[in-house]
Amino acid sequence: MRPRSEESHRILVVDDNPSIHRDFHRILTHSTSGLDALDAMESRLFGEQAPEPRTTAAPCFELDFASAGEEGVQCVRDAVSAGRPYALAFVDVRMPPGLDGVETTLRMWRESSDLQVVLCSAYSDYSWDELVRKLETSERLLILRKPFDTIEVRQMAHALCEKWELLRASQQRMQGLSRAVEERTRALAEANTRLLHAQKLEALGRMSAGLAHEVNNPLSFILSNLRHVVRGLESVPWTPESEELREDLREASRDALRGAERIARIVQDVRVFARVDEPPRERVDVCEVLESAVHMAAEVLGPQPRVVRAFQAVPPVLASEHGLSQVFINLLVNAAHALRGRAQPLLRLGVSRRADGRVAVEVEDNGCGIAPENLGRLFEPFFTTKPAGMGTGLGLSICHGIVTRLGGDISVESTLGQGTTFRVMLPAASQEG
Ligand code: ADP
């Protein structure tokens, strides 16, 4: 079977002679299609029974006519921009005084590179070699000598339109294939980036876990000795002369203790980041955990922010209470920092059940907000905008780690100068669980 498109093919005739237009019209819109003529010829030649004539409800070709080269080029341009390009153009070689057929063809190809062209010539205006040299291609070009042979014109029209159709189909397939290749390449590159990132995090985790382990032992005896020194300084009898020294030592040892306790908290964070401590999971009520996190962060939050709660009844989630509490405390502490110095600090806590069954927890503040260029980096370990000694940049990466390990995700929306919302989405625990 010859592949035929649903729509009739568009053909353009460019010739300065109106009687040639009429000839083409008669030949190409005749009710018997060229294929039927071919079939009839085939059966005559090979003695087979002729098939039933094809009934062509609509003519196979839709014809347009141009009387000069420039007009032809414009028709091709319009057809392309209308999304209905011509398949074929019959172009007269001689069309004085305007563009000749060769120039017209070159310009039409600039508009529509697939266009098949039949150059019609009564004279040997150009030799084939000359034509090929001028047009730089012979694949889309045929020559038709005048006067025309009706059958030859029909055959050419059918064959070239079919060729155009096949060419377009194969181009579309090629485009589809190269799109698929591009998509696959992009997906692979993304997967590779994720893998590299995961490997980096894993290496970082291993190093941090080792470091935390090594720091932990000396730190625990530093802490216990410092506590011992602080207590000792209280109980030693002091003379009024040494009172100044006593105050000095007391302050120094308390500072040292505060510093050591901070190191202990960082080490604890690093251990969570490195997943050294992975507590067991249970069914927990996020509202309760969030409420107790607010209680624990009370000191950092201070009396200032107005806290608004919008808690819906939600199903329990499967998590470790300790891990989840750490997530909420980190978010609350960050919000508290962002709210510092705001005229009317507001903290909105939301718990809701989403249409997909997941539980959403939102911590929203009307604090300083986050610069757009930082939004993409917040969950990276050690990313901080806080001054040295104030932030480790581990808080959100820990939150991210804990939440994703629970099968959930954490996201952020923020407007600089207006506020920030962190949203934690967690899958609900199964009924039996
Ligand atoms: P840290 O608090 O130690 O800097 P985090 O990982 O918790 O580390 O946070 C990383 C950075 O994200 C912070 O330094 C801050 O710039 C930004 N950030 C986090 N939460 C908020 C918030 N609620 N408002 C504004 N900025 C925030």
DSSP conformation class of 406: T
Question: Is residue 238 included in any domain, yes or no?
Answer: yes
Whether residues 65 and 89 fall in one domain = yes
Which helix (H) or strand (E) segment holds residue 60: the answer is none
pLDDT at position 30 over 70 = no
Question: Is residue 222 included in any domain, yes or no?
Answer: yes
Distance of alpha carbon 136 from alpha carbon 141, whole angstroms: 10
Residue 178 is predicted with a pLDDT of 95
Residue nearest to atom 8 of ligand 1 (CA): 393
Express each pLDDT in 38-78 by its tens digit.
544 444 444 445 444 444 434 579 999 999 999 999 999 99
Q: Which residues of 336-370 are buried (b: 16+ CB within 10 A; e: fewer)?
A: bebbeeeeebbbbbbbeeeeeebbbbbbbbbbbbb
pLDDT at position 1 over 50 = no
Whether residues 267 and 318 fall in one domain = no
Residue 46 is predicted with a pLDDT of 45
Distance 375 CA to ligand 1 centre (A): 10
Residue 315 is predicted with a pLDDT of 94
Question: Is residue 179 included in any domain, yes or no?
Answer: no
Question: Is residue 177 included in any domain, yes or no?
Answer: no
Least confident of 14-18, 106-110, 195-199, 298-302: 195-199
Residue ending a domain, among 103, 121, 148, is 148
Least confident of 48-62, 178-192, 230-244: 48-62
Residue 401 CB–ligand 1 contact under 6 Å: no
Question: Is residue 240 included in any domain, yes or no?
Answer: yes
Whether residues 207 and 116 fall in one domain = no
Whether residues 34 and 120 fall in one domain = yes
Residue 381 CB–ligand 1 contact under 6 Å: no
**What CATH number is attached to the domain comprising 106?**
3.40.50.2300
Question: Is residue 186 included in any domain, yes or no?
Answer: no
Mean pLDDT of all residues in the chain? 86
pLDDT at position 271 over 70 = yes
Burial (CB count within 10 angstroms: exposed 0-12, middle 13-18, buried 19+), residue 69: buried
Which range marks the domain in which residue 292 is found? 282-426
Residue nearest to atom 10 of ligand 1 (CA): 384
Whether residues 34 and 97 fall in one domain = yes
Residue 67 is predicted with a pLDDT of 96
Whether residues 142 and 42 fall in one domain = yes
Whether residues 244 and 297 fall in one domain = no
Residue 363 is predicted with a pLDDT of 97
**Six token digits for residue 332:** 């609350």
Distance 369 CA to ligand 1 centre (A): 10
Q: Domain tally for the chain?
A: 3
DSSP string covering 92-136:
ES--TTS--HHHHHHHHHHH-TT-EEEEEESS-SS-HHHHHHHHS
Question: Is residue 154 included in any domain, yes or no?
Answer: no
Burial (CB count within 10 angstroms: exposed 0-12, middle 13-18, buried 19+), residue 330: buried
Whether residues 316 and 251 fall in one domain = no
Distance 163 CA to ligand 1 centre (A): 63
Residue 52 is predicted with a pLDDT of 45
Whether residues 214 and 348 fall in one domain = no
Residue 148 is predicted with a pLDDT of 85
DSSP string covering 273-314:
HTTS--PPPEEE-HHHHHHHHHHHTHHHH-S-SEEEEEE---
**What CATH number is attached to the domain comprising 388?**
3.30.565.10
Whether residues 291 and 421 fall in one domain = yes
Candidates 84, 114, 113, 119; CA nearest to 99 is 119
Residue 206 is predicted with a pLDDT of 79
Residue ending a domain, among 128, 148, 168, is 148
Residue 12 is predicted with a pLDDT of 98
Whether residues 261 and 291 fall in one domain = no
Percent of the chain's residues with pLDDT above 70:
88
**Does the global pTM surpass 0.85?**
no
Candidates 156, 140, 113; CA nearest to 27 is 156
Question: Is residue 249 included in any domain, yes or no?
Answer: yes
**What CATH number is attached to the domain comprising 264?**
1.10.287
Residue 282: pLDDT band by 50, 70, 90 thresholds? confident
Distance 202 CA to ligand 1 centre (A): 22
Mutate to test the pocket of ligand 1, among 265, 327, 365, 384 (most ligand atoms within 8 A of CB): 384
Whether residues 214 and 290 fall in one domain = no
Distance of alpha carbon 262 from alpha carbon 219, whole angstroms: 11
Express each pLDDT in 155-174 by its tens digit.
999 999 999 999 999 999 99
Distance 377 CA to ligand 1 centre (A): 10
Residue ending a domain, among 82, 117, 148, is 148
